[in-house]
Amino acid sequence: MQNITGKIAFGGIAIGKIKEISKENNVVRRVKIEDAKAEIARFEAARDQAAEELKGLYDKAVKEVGEANAAIFEVHQMMLEDEDYLDSVRNIIEAQSVNAEFAVATTGDNFARMFADMDDDYMKERAADVKDISERVIRVLSQKEEKVNTSGAEKEKYIIAADDLAPSETIQLDRETVLAFVTRHGSTNSHTAILARTMNIPALVSTAVPKEVNGKMAIVDGFKGIVIIDPDEETLREYEKKQQDEKNRQELLQQLKGKPTVTKEGKEIKLYANIGEVKDLGAVLQNDAAGIGLFRSEFLYLQSDHFPTEDEQFQSYKTVAEVMAGKKVIIRTLDIGADKQIDYFGLEHEDNPALGYRAVRICLDQPDIFKTQLRALLRASMFGNISIMIPMIASVWEVRKVKEIMEEVKAELTSEGIPFKNVEFGIMIETPAAVMIADELAKEVDFFSIGTNDLTQYVLGVDRGNEMIADLYQPLHPSVIRAIKMVIDASHKEGKWTGVCGELAGDEKGAALLLGMGLDEFSMSAGSIPTIKNLIRKSNYAEMQKAAEEALELQTSAEVNEYVDQLLNKIYSR
């Protein structure tokens, strides 16, 4: 058994035999020609035929993956009309008196190298596109049919292994027979990866899969980013169960997609998704989230080797706002410290970082960093429905200081003529201190979002990352759920709303109690949304309220867990 890691292009689990795809290499020879004009005419005829083929691929892609994702083939058609590209081919033919195949290959290599050397990641990916169109024109010139060698596998379902796949090859994959694909090259930003996500094909790129794998049994885990070659029986059984669980989840998703998230009496509940970066948006849309309840903005800092500039942050926030198309996007400001350390911040070692210099404490201590982020957030607010949320609040003065800094930033933007919206402003409730003064905090903000992960560890005094005391970390401990109820009640008293963005929101037991306690918004990993949506639609709200009242009277975590288990069995047995 061999485990090989790769970069995730699209999640999912596939089990089957590997089929190695070998593409015929177009061996392009330099041939002297006598009539340059005739050779240029031959090239232009081939260019026209290639453009027609791309139009056909575009039409096919529109039907299968939608107009937006089919646009890559329009881009390829435009590349075939690019005057710089065409002039280069013509010039090589004329100046060197060489055949069109050689001129196209040379131009393709030159332009691909030019794109690959650019700093911008998007432009780097265009290197693969220009090579794809050049190979298409060369194939037409050589009068070869477009094909990928998969002989002997027409009816068999299989996992494709290849050095790389062009977008045109990806869109032509037979989804009835292709379980997944794994490539040795490529990146998660390529059009091929984007198409894989849209076509719901589990895919890994940049994997070191050996060449001698044809016909071997394999598992592609698109959630963890691994390929398992020749899995043993135990691993196979484990993944067969995971695959079935994922299939059940997908079926549930399809049944619920587009349906309202309401209880049996019609009470509407907001189900939002937690994300860490822009590339998570695909899962948000796929799982039918009503919005984003937590965008962990610190990932922009964690993935960088420098403080992200205002424009770098603005572009990320703007993209998320635009893609969500008016749906709520709650962006948490920088939450660095504790278990999220960044070298260039120069933070000193702390004996107890979870209780130390982190989150809003850093932002208030280093306002220049904070102001840069707030400027980017406010600028991005013009492109969607952005809310700003501050983590790790423990006192009223912190909230007021943040609001004071935000007003300074708004004044700066106004003086510079930069537009922004008056965004909704909220805080995270993660500390026992915030719970105890929630009634006062509610007067200062528009909403609360309870971070149950940190709140649980602080209330119980249990380090959630310490395996030695893992059994003591109990999210349904009576003290934790009573604290949550206090926060919800305090916000409602002031006419404000409360959400949960910790793991408890995506857990069926936790969600059942939170629903009964009157929680307004649940935010979770996107993959948990169908399960919680199903639970809410099967629930009677009045019954859940009564159940929550009874659970809040229990004395131990074991009693709460047993009680909620019985409640869930009752709901699902109806």
Q: Residue 500's CB: how many other CB atoms inside 10 A?
A: 30
Of 183, 225, 179, 227, whose CA–CA distance to 200 is shortest? Answer: 179
The owner of tokens 């791309």 is: 54
Spell out a b/e string for 206-243, using b for 16 or more CB atoms within 10 Å of the CB, else e: bbebeeebeebebbbbbeebbbbbebeeeebeebeeeb
Cα separation, 386 vs 420, in Å, equals 11
Catalytically active residues are: 191, 501
User: Quick count: other Cβ atoms within 10 Å of Cβ 164?
Assistant: 18
d(CA 42, CA 98): 12
- C-alpha distances (whole Å) from 314 to each of 146, 382, 499 are 43, 11, 25
Residue (of 320, 354, 356) closest to 460 by Cα position: 354
H-helix or E-strand containing 525? strand 521-525
| In 117-232, alpha helices (H) | 121-141, 167-171, 191-198
SS3 of residue 424 by DSSP? strand
- Residue 103 region, left (φ>0) first, then alpha (ψ -120 to 50), else beta? alpha
Torsion angle defined by CA atoms of residues 361, 280, 470 and 244, in that order, rounded to the nearest 10 degrees? 170
Token couple for 306: 């420098």
Asked whether the beta carbons of 384 and 325 are under 8 A apart, the reply is: yes
d(CA 166, CA 21) in angstroms, rounded, equals: 12
The CA distance from 222 to 207, in Å, is 12
Parallel, antiparallel, or unpaired: how do β-strands 447-450 and 424-429 relate?
parallel
CB-based contact 40:90 (threshold 8 Å): yes
Query: How many DSSP H helices and E strands does the chain contain?
Result: 22, 16
Pairing outcome for strands 203-205 and 7-10: antiparallel
Nearest to 547 by CA among 505, 514, 506: 514
Residue type, 367: P
